[in-house]
Chains A and B, each alone.
Chain A
């Protein structure tokens, strides 16, 4: 099949092809999900190198489980569920054995090589630009300080635009719990950011 057709194919169809050993189909899946998945995992564990490793591990698992894949639910829900579980495992491991990536300390990925240009920043004056950078840094800090049970549903909602129902499936808790966790997470973030914004 032509590459262009593959790029437009659904996830389920691509997985069917992957089952039959079509490497190109799997490559399309990886291309489709590599950035959002890595971004999502990075926001959970706050370590770029580990986020890359985990996202690769997710794709390896998807490939290996392709033969037993059943298109009962959305593919994205499934792949995010795997990512969430692996990220939580990594956090537990880190709690047990404190690990720090020396490379992520040396490089601030978000403000250097991998940074996407912020759309309105070109129109800002230098002071406003510094204010924006400080705010984003604070948001990152506050987000990282948020308990994991609030952080994951909030990230899935804000970064990936998942519905509460999908988030409940990904995290594996009832929808009502997700609703209250997102509400609570937003409330904590709002209070912490409000203090910061008032100070600057």
Chain B
């Protein structure tokens, strides 16, 4: 073994006779011709000897009697650690970390639960804009009709599986409120390809007041009668659909025309 670096690592176990025969011989051979490593092992031996030369401590007289007396005094009961012995620093650290994480989770969940929805700024929709936009190709997506309903001027893009599972015409404000509970993270949209007329507005359709009431955290009406909503509104994808126009079930399922006509939709508001 010519490499000193490899040998240095083996010197300590070599001194303690903890190497196998092959390695012992390799170190022996190396020490035979390497003066530096020979000095290193001599230093180690001297260090070892200096520790061994420390004066051994002796116990005081009658030590055994004291031990036996202590045993008799303490009785034969099993050892039960005191509070101080039980709460070792390591256990304290683990317990503290656990409690801290629980507290943090609690605080975060409370904050999430009670945090109000973001309403920093708002976009505005009004009746005049509706009338104007109906003749315009670049119509806005949501408009307020003369009937006081919020309508969509663009074709309905998404009719998911949930829609087909919920062919429930004639939902009214109360039933919707009951279904949605008081969750403010639901936003109601009325999708309508064409402007609503009297025939399209059927029994049970929600009126603007209902929409505002159900979504008081999201939609609001200002003093001029304008309906406002936060700018994040358009970023959200519709997820849940509740058609309310009263139609026959078969037509409802099969007719693609339905998708482009009056439907009242509810959209789940995602964070």
Interface residues of A in 25-84 (CB under 8 A from B): 26-27, 30-31, 34-35, 38-39, 42-43, 48, 51-52, 55-56, 59-61, 63-65
Known: A30-B63, A60-B67, A64-B78. A139 touches B58 (CB 8 A): no
Say which size band chain B's interface belongs to: 35 or more
> Within residues 6 to 58 of chain B, which ones have a CB less than 8 A from any CB in chain A?
9, 11-13, 16, 18, 43-44, 46-48, 50-58
Cα distance, A163 to B59, chains bound together (Å)? 25
The answer, among B9, B55, B60, for a CB contact under 8 Å with A118, is B55
A143 touches which one: B48, B51, B88 (CB < 8 A)? Answer: B51
Q: In residues 146-200 of chain A, which contact B (Cβ within 8 Å)?
A: 154-155, 157-159, 163-164, 179, 182-183, 186, 189-190, 193-194
Interface size class of A (residues with CB under 8 A): 35 or more
User: In the bound complex, do residue B89 and residue A92 qualify as a contact, i.e. CB atoms below 8 Å apart?
Assistant: yes
Q: Interface with B: A3-11, A108-116, A122-130, which one?
A: A108-116
- A38 partner residues in chain B, CB cutoff 8 A: 57-59
A164 near B18: Cβ-Cβ < 8 Å: yes
Whether a CB of chain A sits under 8 angstroms from the CB of B222 is: no
Tell me which residues across on chain B come within 8 A of A55, comparing CB atoms: 59
Q: Which of B46, B63, B78, B89 has the most CB of A within 10 A?
A: B63
| B161: Cβ under 8 A from any A Cβ | no
B71: Cβ under 8 A from any A Cβ = yes
Q: A159 vs B54: C-alpha distance in the bound complex, in angstroms?
A: 9
Q: Could you tell me the distance in whole angstroms from the C-beta of A3 to the nearest C-beta in chain B?
A: 13
Which residues of the partner chain B approach A118 to less than 8 Å between Cβ atoms? 53, 55
Q: Is B114 interfacial (CB 8 A cutoff)?
A: no
A179-B13, A182-B16 known; A61-B79 Cβ under 8 A: yes
Give every chain B residue within 8 A of A159 (Cβ-Cβ): 51-52, 54
Establish whether residues B67 and A183, one from each chain, have CB atoms under 8 Å apart when the complex forms.
Answer: no
CA distance A109 to B57 in the complex (A): 8
Interface centre among B51, B58, B79 (most CB of A within 10 A): B51
List A contacts of B48 (CB < 8 A): 158, 186
Q: Among A65, A96, A157, which residue has the most Cβ atoms of chain B within 10 A?
A: A157
Does B74 make an interface contact (CB < 8 A)? Answer: yes
A51 CA / B58 CA spacing, docked (Å): 11
Is B70's CB within 8 Å of the partner chain A? yes
Instruction: Write the chain B residue with the least CB distance to A64.
Output: B79
Contact B67 A30 (CB under 8 A): yes
List the A side residues contacting B11 at CB < 8 Å.
Answer: 183
A27 and B59 contact, CB distance less than 8 A = no
Task: Answer whether residue B66 sits at the interface, using C-beta atoms and an 8 A cutoff.
Answer: yes
CA A6 to CA B85, docked complex, whole Å: 35
A110 to B16, CA, bound (A): 27
Enumerate B60-81 residues with CB–CB distance to A below 8 Å: 60, 63-64, 66-68, 70-71, 74, 76, 78-79
Q: Can you pick out 24 interface pairs between chain A and chain B where the beta carbons lie within 8 Å of each other?
A: A27-B68, A30-B64, A35-B56, A35-B57, A51-B57, A56-B70, A60-B70, A61-B79, A64-B71, A64-B76, A64-B79, A92-B88, A92-B89, A96-B89, A110-B57, A114-B57, A118-B55, A139-B50, A143-B54, A158-B48, A158-B51, A164-B16, A190-B44, A190-B46
Binding site for A on B (CB under 8 A): 9, 11-13, 16, 18, 43-44, 46-48, 50-60, 63-64, 66-68, 70-71, 74, 76, 78-79, 85, 88-89
Given A35-B59, A89-B85, A190-B46, 10 further pairs, Cβ under 8 A: A27-B64, A52-B63, A60-B67, A116-B56, A139-B50, A143-B51, A163-B18, A179-B12, A179-B13, A183-B9
The residues of A with any CB-CB pair to B shorter than 8 Å are: 23, 26-27, 30-31, 34-35, 38-39, 42-43, 48, 51-52, 55-56, 59-61, 63-65, 89, 92, 96, 109-111, 114-116, 118, 135-136, 139-140, 143, 154-155, 157-159, 163-164, 179, 182-183, 186, 189-190, 193-194
Give me the 7 closest cross-chain CB pairs, A-B, nearest first: A183-B12, A158-B51, A39-B57, A30-B64, A42-B57, A190-B47, A114-B58
